[in-house]
Structures are given as C-alpha cells and as structure tokens.
C-alpha cells in the first residue's frame, strides 16, 4: 500500500499548497491513502468544517489535528459528525470526537490511524503510550488491519522517538508532527516500522514556524506583549512523508520524505 502523510498545514498558503499539489501527487504516486494534519489550517489556529471538506476534495482520506484542535469553537459541534477528523486520542474520556479509526482503502484494505499527543512541554493529557496500547490490544498489523499509521503530535524529539521504538514492528509508520520543521531521520526501524521524528509543516518557510517573522521575532527580542500572530502568506512548501507497506505483513518496505514548492529544497521519495 502507498500512503502519504502531510505535515501541519498552516494558514491560507498551506491550504493552497494542498489544493495545488495533493490531487496531482495522488495521481502520480498512485497513492492508496492520504492523511493531512490540519490543526493550524484556519489562519494558523485550528480547523473548520469548510476546511475539512476542502482537504477531502483535494484527496485527503483522514485529517489529524493536535493541541490547536479546539481553537475554532465551531469544530466542537462538528467533530462528532465527522469520523475522519481525529483529535488526539489521549484527551480525557467524554471529550468530543475520537482519536483513532479504521478507514477503507482501495481493494477493501483497512488502514488504522492512531493520533496520540505527547506530554513533554505540552498539555498534561492522559498517557499517550497507554492510549495507543489500548487500541493495539484489539488490532494486529497484517491480520485485522492492513496498515497502521501513528501521527504522534509532540514537542520533544525524545518522546516521539520513544514512541517509534516502542511501536517498532507493530505498526507501519510513526510520523511526528507539531514542531513545523522537517527532520532528516526518515528511516525504517529494525523491526520494520517507518519513522520520521517530524514531517515539517505545509506552510511558508520565510517565517517563524509558519507565522509572520517580524511579530513572532519581536516577542523574543522585546520580551513585551505583541499582537496576535498572523500566518505568513508566501508560497508554501508541502512537506510530507511517503511510505510503502508490504501487502502481507503491513510493515514498511520503503519510506522517504517529500517536499514540494516554496523555499525548501525539493525532495522526492522515489
């Protein structure tokens, strides 16, 4: 199976990159399944139902989020109606929405997507490792599902790397999101799980993690309150990771970073 996971979409320029590139990528790479992290898509903060529909129209099968999932209040009433929109799985019991799901891919294949959020330097949610284990207790790669993708949303590289090693051999891919900067450690771990600590953002890289650089930098330089951050609006780089899984085992047989457009050097996984 051929799967693409797109990193955090930031603002209008990031949404435009999805609209411009994802349909063509879906065709040219013959993708079976696409995940888009959309937690910063609504002017840098959260996501709306209209943006979700736009991502689906462009070719996304599932949308993940993160710590900004509730920034747009309207999503609270929408998320229970859309099982393809995932919030972090380790929110407390009773939180609207779900953090994992099994989704159909061509040929009747089943893809399990799990979306934990880390705790180091983040909100103090429930244990993300235990939350993932609870899901995996009922599903086995290559048996009950054909692929398992984990979007681990977190600040600390150590916590995301630990998630990769703990899950090695039991899931197809562990892909990190949240820091908005792509890491160079794309690899297949010893047990056969593809891994990248952070995919990077789909946004304008002439910025501070997707936000206009002048205002964001002033917060550090002056140490004084500034206005609300605004997304940078230059051409975005679409950052993603591509993974091919073995049809029998569901483990990774190929993985590579993908970067397209904008300021970063273009990179293709094939």
Query: Which residues are identified as catalytic?
Result: 68
Q: What phi, psi does 154 have (nearest 5°)?
A: -165, 160
Q: Give the whole-angstrom CA distance, residue 150 versus residue 139.
A: 13
Bridge partners, 150 (sequence order): 114, 174
Which residue, chain included where needed, has tokens 């407390």? Answer: 92
Q: Give the whole-angstrom CA distance, residue 59 versus residue 81.
A: 19
**100 and 112 in contact (C-beta within 8 Å)?**
yes
């Amino acid at each position: 199976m051929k799967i693409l996971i797109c990193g955090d979409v930031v603002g209008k320029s990031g949404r435009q990159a999805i609209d411009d590139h994802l349909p063509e990528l879906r065709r040219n790479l013959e993708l079976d399944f696409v995940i888009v992290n959309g937690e910063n898509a609504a002017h840098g903060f959260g996501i709306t139902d209209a943006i979700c529909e736009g991502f689906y129209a462009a070719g996304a099968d599932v949308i993940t989020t993160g710590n900004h999932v509730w920034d747009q209040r309207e999503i609270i009433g929408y998320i229970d109606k859309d099982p393809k929109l995932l919030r972090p799985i380790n929110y407390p019991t009773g939180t609207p929405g779900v953090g994992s799901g099994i989704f159909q891919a061509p040929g009747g294949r089943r893809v399990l997507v799990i979306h934990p959020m880390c705790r180091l330097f983040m909100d103090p949610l429930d244990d993300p490792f235990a939350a993932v284990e609870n899901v995996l207790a009922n599903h086995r790669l290559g048996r009950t599902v054909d692929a398992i993708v984990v979007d681990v949303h977190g600040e600390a590289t150590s916590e995301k790397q630990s998630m990769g090693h703990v899950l090695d051999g039991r899931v197809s891919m562990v892909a990190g999101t949240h820091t908005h900067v792509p890491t160079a450690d794309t690899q297949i771990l010893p047990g056969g799980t593809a891994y990248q600590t952070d995919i990077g953002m789909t946004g304008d890289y002439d910025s501070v993690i997707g936000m206009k650089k002048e205002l964001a930098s002033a917060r550090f330089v002056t140490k004084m309150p500034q206005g609300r951050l605004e997304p940078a609006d230059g051409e975005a780089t679409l950052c993603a990771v591509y993974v091919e899984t073995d049809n029998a085992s569901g483990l990774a047989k190929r993985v590579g970073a993908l970067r397209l457009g904008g300021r970063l050097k273009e990179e293709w996984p094939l």
